[in-house]
């Protein structure tokens, strides 16, 4: 059947049985493809029927479907003519794993970070009304994404707006890990108690039988109705917020889904549809371990096994080291915004469940929550992906740094993350943290240094950030002591005439360029900066005075990065040398494997050496 689908119109004449067959075919296709490429399998398996029903009932792209986070948009991509591109899903130059407007007219709004879809949908709906146009606008949001503050801000605004808008909650009780929070408990209550739904219908029928006798009596009856509803009716929270609540609906029953979507399409005002799904549906290993198949590496379909990982990632090193430190320091607490596994904090959570906090997809709250704990004498570590820390920019300034609180930002996935692309590359943190007073920023060149940085951070009296990359941390010995001091760089190699100042992961890129440089008679000083703030002013100035050429290397955007910081320092000290910055340009970095991207942006060792040779020799 898939062969016959090139646009959503192609499914509109299908019978229910054909739609059900189609859902099976799509599931097999997803499992087959993602087992080879990797990708967000479990979330997509969970929305197969919902996506089919949406495209069956609505007319995309006239009707606008907006996917929150967008990691579950693969089925939508299959139905909108992109099936043949799945061999290159998330590969360099291939199909994106998220909605992209330049990929298809059916991708209405670009996403990647969570909890934005209701705001975007409301904006589109409001502007549609200003234009006197008629079409449906639908936001599809997961229960995990619904824990994000923006989603509440948007519900709050949309509910009183009376605007025609449909919000579909895809409720599977999972974020990446088990979903958390009181709203999640409330939703689960609605999901698991079938009496609620029946009671709602019965109650409404009974209450509607009460005849409106006289204006004031009518008012009193309405009040009584409201109080009774308040006590018993499911979805009352959403109803009270101004939405018409429909549900809960079995999200794997296409017939019911089509029915409810058709009803919603005809209704006025904001509608909230509560759809119950199973994350990983239809693939036993993903159903049993939805977290492992959330952002899955390639796997064996028959056994459900991933290639064995025989190394520690930086996240593992972080999780293990912090757990170690916390055994000796009972003030250490750990915070995540819905990423306990990705950040390595699951080690900590297992050993210290009472000192571990998963606050949901709520980075802003997490940062200020950390500040609150610090006020009371605790030492909070907020472990967060670089890209998601962007959400908490003001909280870092206003709640942590102004009060100079000893919160540690453990910034995972700093620099390129690769396959997730523009929305996820962690290439801005040095720039946006560097300008904040009181902030210290470190970046390790390897795991041994990383362990020292974590230890140092546990003793710091003010805010600090450690940024480290995704992936293999290489060999390390947690017990090996690295000579290390706050604000001091490491001079790896003495040289003449040329200096290279490199930060974090890029130090090794520079080390690997040395051979080629020396073969071409370029003998540089090589400095591992370790600190992007405060800079090691003494070492940088001393070496800079001795050379004619200065190169800085970082895996951050060049705008405002550590290269800019050194340039400012030299200028302030009236040292004017030939200066060249290696880093990411002033553009968003697309998806692809990290090696290809480093090559494209000429940040691999060969490109580095070639450029330096070109500038110094010619």
Ligand X SMILES: Cc1ncc(C[n+]2csc(CCOP(=O)(O)OP(=O)(O)O)c2C)c(N)n1
- Catalytic entry in 292, 391, 413, 434: 391
What does the per-residue mask of binding to ligand X show for 376-415, with x meaning CB under 6 A?
A: ------------x--x------------------------
CB 342 within 8 A of CB 471: no
Residue 172 is assigned to a ligand binding site = yes
Contact call for residue 336 and ligand X (CB under 6 A): no
By C-beta, is 147 or 425 nearer to Mg ion?
A: 147
552 makes contact, choosing from Mg ion, ligand X, ligand DXP, none, with CB < 5 to 8 Å by partner type, with none
Residue 171 is assigned to a ligand binding site = no
Taking CB under 5 A as the criterion, the residue among 125, 150, 174, 383 binding Mg ion is 174
470 makes contact, choosing from ligand X, Mg ion, ligand DXP, none, with CB < 5 to 8 Å by partner type, with ligand DXP
* DSSP letters spanning 432-443: HHHTSTT-EEE-
User: Is 355 marked active-site?
Assistant: no
- 3-state SS string over 52-114? HHHHHHCCCCCCEEEECCCCCCHHHHHHHHHHHHHHHCCCCCCCCCCCCCCCCCCCCCCCCCC
Contact call for residue 71 and ligand X (CB under 6 A): yes
Taking CB under 6 A as the criterion, the residue among 242, 280, 342, 360 binding ligand DXP is 342
320, exposed or middle or buried, with CB in 10 Å at 0-12, 13-18, 19+? middle
Maximum CA pair distance of the chain? 98
Contact call for residue 343 and ligand X (CB under 6 A): no
CB 526 within 8 A of CB 493: yes
CB 32 within 8 A of CB 106: no
Taking CB under 6 A as the criterion, the residue among 71, 106, 191, 200 binding ligand DXP is 71
User: Is 452 marked active-site?
Assistant: no
Nearest approach in angstroms of CB 341 to ligand X is: 10
Nearest approach in angstroms of CB 336 to ligand DXP is: 12
For residues 509 and 512, give the distance between their C-alpha atoms in angstroms, rounded to a whole number. 5
Residue 280 is assigned to a ligand binding site = no
By C-beta, is 142 or 344 nearer to Mg ion?
A: 142
Task: Report CA 427 to chain centroid distance, whole Å.
Answer: 14
Residue 218 is assigned to a ligand binding site = no
Nearest approach in angstroms of CB 302 to ligand DXP is: 23
How many chain residues bind ligand X (CB under 6 A)?
Answer: 24
Contact call for residue 143 and Mg ion (CB under 5 A): yes
For residues 116 and 209, give the distance between their C-alpha atoms in angstroms, rounded to a whole number. 41
Contact call for residue 361 and ligand X (CB under 6 A): yes
Q: Between residue 437 and residue 496, which ones bind ligand X under the rule CB under 6 A?
A: none
Residue 283 is assigned to a ligand binding site = yes
What does the per-residue mask of binding to ligand DXP show for 385-414, with x meaning CB under 6 A?
A: ----------------------------x-
For residues 119 and 135, give the distance between their C-alpha atoms in angstroms, rounded to a whole number. 17
417 makes contact, choosing from ligand X, Mg ion, ligand DXP, none, with CB < 5 to 8 Å by partner type, with ligand DXP
In this structure, what token pair is assigned to residue 397? 């300034």
Eight-state DSSP code of residue 531? E
Conformational region of residue 214, where left means phi above 0, alpha means psi within -120 to 50, and beta covers everything else: left
Taking CB under 6 A as the criterion, the residue among 121, 176, 454, 603 binding ligand X is 176
Coil, strand, or helix at residue 208?
Answer: helix
Taking CB under 5 A as the criterion, the residue among 97, 142, 463, 561 binding Mg ion is 142
Contact call for residue 172 and Mg ion (CB under 5 A): yes
Conformational region of residue 118, where left means phi above 0, alpha means psi within -120 to 50, and beta covers everything else: alpha
For residues 563 and 578, give the distance between their C-alpha atoms in angstroms, rounded to a whole number. 13
Contact call for residue 247 and ligand X (CB under 6 A): no
Contact call for residue 11 and ligand DXP (CB under 6 A): no
Q: Between residue 270 and residue 299, which ones bind ligand X under the rule CB under 6 A?
A: 279
Residue 145 is assigned to a ligand binding site = yes
Residue 242 is assigned to a ligand binding site = no
- 3-state SS string over 320-365? HHHHHHHHHCCCEEEEECCCCCCCCCHHHHHHCHHHEEECCCCHHH
420 makes contact, choosing from Mg ion, ligand DXP, ligand X, none, with CB < 5 to 8 Å by partner type, with ligand DXP
361 makes contact, choosing from ligand DXP, Mg ion, ligand X, none, with CB < 5 to 8 Å by partner type, with ligand X
By C-beta, is 97 or 159 nearer to ligand DXP?
A: 97
- Catalytic entry in 279, 379, 434, 505: 279
Contact call for residue 338 and ligand X (CB under 6 A): yes
CB 363 within 8 A of CB 337: yes
Which of 241, 260, 119 lies closest to 186, judged by CA? 241
72 makes contact, choosing from ligand DXP, Mg ion, ligand X, none, with CB < 5 to 8 Å by partner type, with ligand X
The 332-336 sheet, strands edge to edge: 356-358, 332-336, 379-385, 408-412, 464-467, 440-442, 531-533
**Cα first-last separation, the chain:** 61
Task: Report CA 563 to chain centroid distance, whole Å.
Answer: 27
Handedness of CA 383, 292, 52, 96 (dihedral sign): positive
Coil, strand, or helix at residue 17?
Answer: helix
Residue 474 is assigned to a ligand binding site = no
Contact call for residue 292 and ligand DXP (CB under 6 A): no
User: Is 263 marked active-site?
Assistant: no
In this structure, what token pair is assigned to residue 372? 């609150």
How many chain residues bind Mg ion (CB under 5 A)?
Answer: 5
Residue 580 is assigned to a ligand binding site = no
In this structure, what token pair is assigned to residue 47? 């929305």
Nearest approach in angstroms of CB 370 to ligand DXP is: 21
The beta-strand segments (E) located in 126-243 are 137-142, 165-171
What does the per-residue mask of binding to ligand X show for 107-136, with x meaning CB under 6 A?
A: ------xx----------------------
Non-local (6+) Cβ contacts of 606 within 8 A are: 513, 516
What does the per-residue mask of binding to ligand X show for 135-154, with x meaning CB under 6 A?
A: -------xxxx---------
Residue 113 is assigned to a ligand binding site = yes
Name the residues annotated as catalytic: 279, 363, 391
Interface residues toward Mg ion, by CB under 5 A: 142-144, 172, 174
Q: Residues comprising the binding site?
A: 71, 112-114, 143-145, 172, 283, 363
Binding site per annotation, positions for thiamine diphosphate: 71, 112-114, 144-145, 172, 283, 363
Q: Rule CB under 6 A: which residues touch ligand X?
A: 43, 46, 69, 71-72, 113-114, 142-145, 170, 172, 174-176, 279, 337-339, 361, 363, 388, 391
* Interface positions with ligand DXP (CB under 6 A): 69, 71, 294-295, 342, 413, 417, 420, 470
């Amino acid at each position: 059947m898939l062969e016959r689908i090139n646009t959503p119109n192609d499914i509109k004449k299908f019978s229910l049985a054909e739609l059900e067959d189609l859902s099976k075919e799509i599931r097999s296709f997803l499992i087959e493809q993602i087992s080879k490429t990797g990708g967000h399998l479990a979330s997509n398996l969970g929305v197969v029927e919902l996506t089919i029903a949406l495209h069956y009932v609505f007319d995309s792209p006239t009707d606008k479907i907006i996917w929150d986070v967008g990691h579950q948009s693969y089925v939508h991509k299959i139905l909108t003519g992109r099936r043949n591109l799945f061999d290159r899903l998330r590969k360099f130059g291939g199909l994106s794993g998220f909605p992209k407007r330049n990929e298809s007219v059916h991708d209405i709004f670009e996403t990647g970070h969570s909890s934005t879809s209701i705001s975007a949908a409301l904006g589109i709906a409001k502007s549609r009304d200003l234009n006197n146009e008629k079409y449906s606008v639908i936001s599809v949001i997961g229960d995990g994404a619904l824990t994000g503050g923006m989603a509440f801000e948007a519900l709050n605004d949309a509910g009183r707006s009376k605007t025609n808008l449909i919000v579909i909650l895809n409720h599977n009780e999972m974020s990446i890990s088990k979903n958390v929070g009181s709203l999640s408990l409330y939703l689960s209550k609605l999901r698991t108690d079938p009496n609620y739904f029946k009671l709602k219908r019965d109650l409404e029928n009974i209450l509607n039988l009460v005849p409106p006798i006289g204006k004031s009596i009518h008012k009193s009856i309405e009040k009584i109705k409201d109080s009774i509803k308040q006590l018993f009716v499911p979805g009352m929270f959403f109803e009270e917020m101004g939405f018409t609540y429909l549900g809960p609906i079995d999200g794997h029953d296409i017939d019911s889904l089509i029915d409810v979507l058709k009803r919603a399409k005809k209704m006025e005002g904001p509608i909230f549809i509560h759809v119950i799904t199973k994350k990983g549906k239809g693939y036993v290993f993903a159903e049993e371990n939805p977290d492992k198949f959330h952002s899955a590496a390639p796997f064996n379909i028959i056994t459900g096994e991933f290639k064995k990982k025989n190394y520690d990632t930086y996240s593992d090193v972080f999780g293990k080291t912090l757990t170690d430190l916390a055994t000796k320091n009972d003030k250490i607490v750990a915070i995540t915004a819905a990423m306990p596994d990705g950040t390595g904090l699951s080690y900590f959570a297992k050993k210290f469940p009472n000192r571990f906090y998963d606050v949901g997809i709520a980075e802003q709250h997490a940062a200020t929550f950390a500040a609150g704990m610090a006020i009371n004498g605790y030492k909070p570590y907020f472990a967060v992906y670089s890209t998601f820390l962007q959400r908490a920019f003001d909280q870092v300034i206003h709640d942590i740094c102004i009060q100079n609180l000893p919160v540690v930002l453990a910034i995972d996935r700093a620099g390129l993350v690769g396959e997730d692309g523009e929305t996820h590359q962690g290439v801005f943190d040095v720039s946006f943290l560097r300008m904040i007073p009181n902030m210290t920023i470190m970046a390790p060149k390897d795991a041994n240094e990383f362990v020292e940085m974590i230890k140092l951070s546990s003793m710091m009296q003010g805010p600090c950030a450690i940024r480290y990359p995704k992936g293999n941390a290489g060999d390390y010995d947690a017990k090996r002591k690295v000579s290390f001091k706050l604000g001091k760089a490491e001079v790896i190699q003495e040289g003449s005439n040329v200096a290279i100042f490199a930060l974090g992961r890029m130090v090794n890129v520079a080390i690997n360029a040395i051979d080629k440089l020396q073969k071409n008679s370029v003998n540089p000083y090589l400095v591992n900066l370790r600190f992007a703030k405060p800079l090691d002013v003494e070492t940088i100035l001393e070496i800079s005075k001795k050379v004619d050429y200065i190169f800085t290397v970082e895996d951050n955007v060049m705008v405002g990065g550590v290269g800019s910081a050194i340039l400012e320092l030299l200028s302030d000290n009236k040292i004017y040398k030939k200066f060249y910055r290696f880093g990411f340009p002033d553009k968003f970095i697309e998806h692809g494997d990290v090696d290809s991207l480093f090559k494209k942006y000429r940040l691999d060792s060969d490109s580095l050496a070639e450029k330096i040779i070109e500038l110094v020799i010619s």
